[in-house]
Amino acid sequence: MRPFQYVRPADGDAAAAALAAPGAMPIGGGTDVVPLWRDGLATPASVVDVTLPGDDVTPEPDGGLSVRAGARLADLAVHPVLRARAAALALACDSVGSPALRAQGTLGGNLGQRPRCWYWRGGHACAKSGAEGCPAVAGDHRHHAIVEAGPCWAVHPSDPAVALMALEAVVHLQRTGGRRAVPLSQFFVLPSQDPTRETVVEPGEFITHLSLPAGTLGGEQTYEKVIQRGAWDFALVSLATVRRPDGDVRLVLGGIGPRPWRITDSIEEDVASGGLDDDSIDALAERALYDATPLPGTTYKVAQARALLVRAMRRLGGVAR
Ligand SMILES: Cc1cc2nc3c(=O)[nH]c(=O)nc-3n(C[C@H](O)[C@H](O)[C@H](O)COP(=O)(O)OP(=O)(O)OC[C@H]3O[C@@H](n4cnc5c(N)ncnc54)[C@H](O)[C@@H]3O)c2cc1C
């Protein structure tokens, strides 16, 4: 294993300057950086600690909220302002891995974590490692993607990202001499675009914070997750739901693709309109997964995703509402 330097900058400008050095990479809690380094999947010359000081959650002038990328998941899970106004995010943070991972892992690191595909992590040649093909297609793919897949079939493992997509979060990035803001809907890179990366974060850049627009905060919010084991596990399928104060509905599935999968506007609008009977709900859930392309070992994910959607649609748009 190649040794690396650990850099602890005092502020964002110093972090950006340190990240401009060749071979530098950001580190939050290190719960993924260290295994990647151990397994030879990351060979940093230096790691730059981007858990810069600051409040975890601050109000924005337009009524929205700003969430620090260096905030620990455990702190976000119990943060009173998030629990009151962005409950889907607090619940998603609370569902991540184990108490130790949540105490150490940060929100920025959770978005930047690499996929859990056992072939790629195990050093097999594949599209993600820069070679061709995906060994999971003919191999063990039971946790792999059913939407937006190929040439790599790995899913993005983040729970918080699913809630953040439903909350229409914006990711704020800093690098030497500049900052930019990217809507989370444009933050992920699909494997058809470039299978070797998962996000638009460039070398030298780091996430400073995420903003949650005022219009998506409050209302009714949930985050549900189907896992194989009783605890400490990645989502097979998950669902974030938001009924905004203006009545609009957001439905976002996780665990099924290389980015959180937002259900199309027209289905969300039908749910928001309400008065749906069971047949209509079944038809909408069927339509929501119409574009799914499961492999033989992942057809169960289509059924699980439909079941989560049906339950949510009954609650949000059923006749009894
Ligand atoms: C057993 C196990 C179970 C897990 N279960 C779940 C689960 O159920 N749900 C889930 O969502 N996750 C799960 N995880 C993943 C875990 O939550 C992540 O490892 C963690 O959130 C990463 O946070 P970190 O701060 O430690 O990231 P780090 O390891 O520090 O960084 C991860 C990546 O993000 C980059 N990065 C870090 N901070 C920034 C930043 N501010 N800007 C840009 N890039 C940055 C790093 O360069 C690196 O590439 C699990 C992990 C394990 C090992």
Q: Is 171 in the pocket of ligand 1 (CB under 6 A)?
A: no
> For atom 3 of ligand 1, which residue has the closest CA?
97
- Predicted confidence (pLDDT) per residue in 273-295, tens digit: 999 999 999 999 999 999 999 99
Choose which residue among 8, 27, 32 to substitute to test ligand 1 binding: the one with the highest number of ligand atoms within 8 A of its C-beta: 32
DSSP E strand boundaries for the chain: 5-7, 24-27, 46-49, 57-59, 65-68, 170-175, 178-183, 206-212, 220-226, 237-243, 249-254, 261-262
Ranges of each domain in the chain: 5-317
Q: What separation in Å is there between the alpha carbon of 266 and the centre of ligand 1?
A: 33
Q: Which residue has the higher pLDDT, 320 or 88?
A: 88
Mean pLDDT within 2-13: 96
Mean pLDDT within 222-233: 90
Mean pLDDT within 30-52: 97
Q: Is 50 in the pocket of ligand 1 (CB under 6 A)?
A: yes
In the sheet that holds 24-27, the strands lie side by side as 5-7, 46-49, 24-27
The pair of three-digit structure tokens given for residue 232, joined into one six-digit string: 């400490």
- Predicted confidence (pLDDT) per residue in 122-156, tens digit: 999 999 999 999 999 999 999 999 999 999 999 99
Structure confidence at residue 321 as a pLDDT band (50, 70, 90): low
Q: With 0-12 CB in 10 A as exposed, 13-18 as middle and 19+ as buried, what is 233?
A: middle
Structure confidence at residue 231 as a pLDDT band (50, 70, 90): confident
> For atom 51 of ligand 1, which residue has the closest CA?
97
pLDDT at 259: 98
Q: Are strands 237-243 and 220-226 parallel, antiparallel or unpaired?
A: antiparallel
Q: Is 201 in the pocket of ligand 1 (CB under 6 A)?
A: yes
The helix/strand/coil state of 49 is strand
Q: What whole-number percentage of the chain has pLDDT above 70?
A: 99
Angstrom distance (rounded) from CA 139 to CA 20: 40
Mean pLDDT within 221-250: 94
> For atom 11 of ligand 1, which residue has the closest CA?
158
Q: What is the amino acid identity at position 84?
A: A
CATH fold label, 5-317: 3.30.465
Choose which residue among 4, 11, 19, 31 to substitute to test ligand 1 binding: the one with the highest number of ligand atoms within 8 A of its C-beta: 31
Greatest CA separation for the chain:
61
- Predicted confidence (pLDDT) per residue in 52-72, tens digit: 999 999 999 999 999 999 999
Average pLDDT of the chain to the nearest whole number: 97
The pair of three-digit structure tokens given for residue 61, joined into one six-digit string: 């002038």
Whether the pLDDT of residue 251 is over 70: the answer is yes
Is the C-alpha dihedral spanning 55, 94, 303, 121 positive or negative? Answer: positive
- Predicted confidence (pLDDT) per residue in 147-191, tens digit: 999 999 999 999 999 999 999 999 999 999 999 999 999 999 999
Question: Which residues on neighbouring strands pair with residue 242, listed in sequence order?
Answer: 221, 250
pLDDT at 1: 73
Mean pLDDT within 198-208: 98
CA distances from 277 to 61, 203, 222, 295, 319 (A): 41, 50, 22, 31, 6
> For atom 52 of ligand 1, which residue has the closest CA?
97
Number of neighbours of residue 268 by Cβ within 10 angstroms: 23
